């Protein structure tokens, strides 16, 4: 039986963890994940999804603040694992740990490398309108996501898919393929392939300024950003100084009046009734809001918004309002 150290943190990592735990050829000797973090207004500590899963499976959990600390490295090396597997762990591993296992360290990355190295590959796949994504099993090296490719599995991205939905599909794909891929590695059946440097692109973590929707952009670009930032971090506009998150939007809806379009600017409301709210975008097309979240409220369908706070809106006004944000 092959001994595995599994390192991961978010929900994406839970599927492959469970798949390896259930497989008769593997035993997981330790799960390594990030420390619990305070969340919410009360700053209550919350365990990462991988910790919760590992605890339910009675697998020992290790949560070092810094994986590079000598004590952390020694503790893991002393387990004498056959393979070290990472899936969105969240820290760079030292060379002494990458070389500690008999068959090396394998990373499950949520893109088809060398495309989208970095921490937000799924977000960028949707932002850029990609029609295909997938997972890459790669040999870990000290340079970020630069190791040789061991295996890849692809899937199609649906036209209206969100980052949350695509993450779930990629996690399921990893769950179905992880055991067979690792066994093929051990049996010497995988042919390593170096990444083509000319095809490398990056997907850095999303900075706060990217979360803001700019109505000067095209309607399609705005739709993609809304999908890409659902469920995290959330795309928003400033409406009279307060954040209003937009979770779903569409290019389909009632046609605005032609005379109104001719005198409207990007960001103006050009469709307004009890069930529809259409905003003019920089390319002259209209985006129809479907699910939004006003500041201090829960997410709601546009009908609910129009029956409440949205009744104050008027046709032709700018949706953002003009008051500065209060601090």
111 and 256 part of one domain: no
Phi first, then psi, for residue 166 (nearest 5°) are -70, -40
List, in order, residues 6 or more apart from 198 with CB less than 8 Å away.
Answer: none
In this structure, the answer to whether residues 53 and 170 fall within a common structural domain is yes
Tokens of 136: 């890459």
Question: What's the pLDDT at 83?
Answer: 98
One domain, residues 170 and 266: no
pLDDT at 23 over 60: yes
pLDDT of residue 322: 46
Q: Which residue has the higher pLDDT, 267 or 323?
A: 267
What pLDDT is recorded for position 327? 30
pLDDT in tens, 186-198: 999 999 999 999 9
- CATH code for position 276: 3.10.25.10
Pairing label, strands 300-301, 286-294: antiparallel
- Total structural domains within the chain: 2
Q: Which of 152, 168, 199 is the last residue of a domain?
A: 199
Q: State yes or no: pLDDT of 206 exceeds 90.
A: yes
**Which residues constitute the domain of residue 63?**
2-199
Domain co-membership, 192 together with 231 = no
Average pLDDT taken over every residue of the chain: 95
Q: What are the structure tokens assigned to 9, written together?
A: 């943190």
Same domain for 104 and 32?
yes
- Regarding whether 79 and 195 lie in a shared domain, the answer is yes
How do residues 217-252 score in pLDDT, each as one tens digit?
A: 999 999 999 999 999 999 999 988 899 999 999 999
Mean pLDDT of 276-298: 97
* C-alpha separations of 305 from 1, 292, 294, 301 in Å: 57, 8, 9, 7
- By CB neighbour count within 10 A (0-12 exposed, 13-18 middle, 19+ buried), where does 183 fall? middle
CB contact at 8 A, 62 and 47:
no
pLDDT of residue 321: 62
Instruction: Let me know whether 94 and 155 are in one domain.
Output: yes
Per-residue pLDDT, 136 = 98
Report, as an integer, the average pLDDT of 156-183.
Answer: 98
What pLDDT does residue 239 have? Answer: 86
Whether 317 is in a domain gets the answer: no
**Is position 322 within any domain?**
no
Q: String of b and e for 283-310 (b: at least 16 CB within 10 Å)?
A: eeebbbbbbbbbeeeebbebeebbeeeb
d(CA 229, CA 246): 9
Same domain, 68 and 169: yes
**Sequence-ordered strand ranges (E) for 42-199:** 44-46, 61-62, 83-87, 105-109, 132-139, 149-156
In this prediction, residue 40 carries a pLDDT of 80
What pLDDT was estimated at residue 324?
A: 38
Q: What is the mean pLDDT of residues 129-158?
A: 97
Asked if residue 325 has pLDDT above 90, the reply is no
Q: In this structure, are 288 and 180 located in the same domain?
A: no
User: Does residue 193 share a domain with residue 250?
Assistant: no
Residue 323 included in any domain? no
């Amino acid at each position: 039986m092959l001994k595995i150290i599994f390192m991961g943190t978010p929900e994406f990592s839970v599927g492959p963890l469970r798949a390896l735990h259930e497989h008769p050829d593997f035993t997981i000797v330790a799960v390594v994940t990030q420390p619990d973090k305070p969340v919410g207004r009360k700053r209550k500590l919350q365990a990462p999804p991988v910790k919760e899963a590992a605890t339910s499976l009675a697998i020992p959990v290790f949560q070092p603040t810094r994986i590079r600390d000598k004590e952390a490295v020694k503790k893991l090396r002393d387990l004498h694992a056959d393979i070290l597997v990472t899936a969105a762990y969240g820290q760079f591993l030292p060379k002494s740990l990458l070389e500690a296992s008999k068959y090396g360290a394998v990373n499950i990355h949520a893109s088809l490398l060398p495309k989208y190295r970095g921490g937000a590959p799924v977000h960028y796949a949707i932002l850029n309108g990609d029609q295909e994504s997938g997972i890459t099993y790669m040999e870990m090296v000290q340079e970020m996501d630069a190791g040789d490719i061991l295996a890849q599995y692809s899937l199609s991205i649906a036209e209206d898919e969100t980052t949350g939905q695509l993450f779930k599909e990629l996690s399921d794909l990893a769950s179905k393929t992880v055991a067979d891929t690792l066994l093929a590695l051990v049996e010497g059946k995988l042919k390593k392939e170096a990444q083509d440097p000319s095809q490398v692109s990056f997907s850095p973590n999303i900075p706060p300024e990217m979360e803001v929707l700019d109505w000067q952009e095209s309607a399609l670009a705005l739709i993609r950003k809304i999908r890409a930032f659902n469920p995290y971090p959330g795309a928003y506009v400033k409406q009279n100084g307060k954040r209003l998150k937009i979770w779903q939007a569409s290019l389909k809806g009632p046609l605005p009046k032609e005379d109104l379009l001719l005198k409207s600017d990007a960001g103006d409301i050009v469709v307004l009734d009890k069930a529809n709210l259409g905003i003019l975008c920089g390319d002259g097309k209209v985006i129809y809001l479907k699910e939004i979240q006003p500041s201090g409220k829960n997410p709601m369908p546009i009908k609910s918004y129009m029956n409440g706070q949205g009744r104050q809106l008027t046709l032709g006004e700018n949706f953002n309002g003009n008051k500065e944000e209060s601090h």
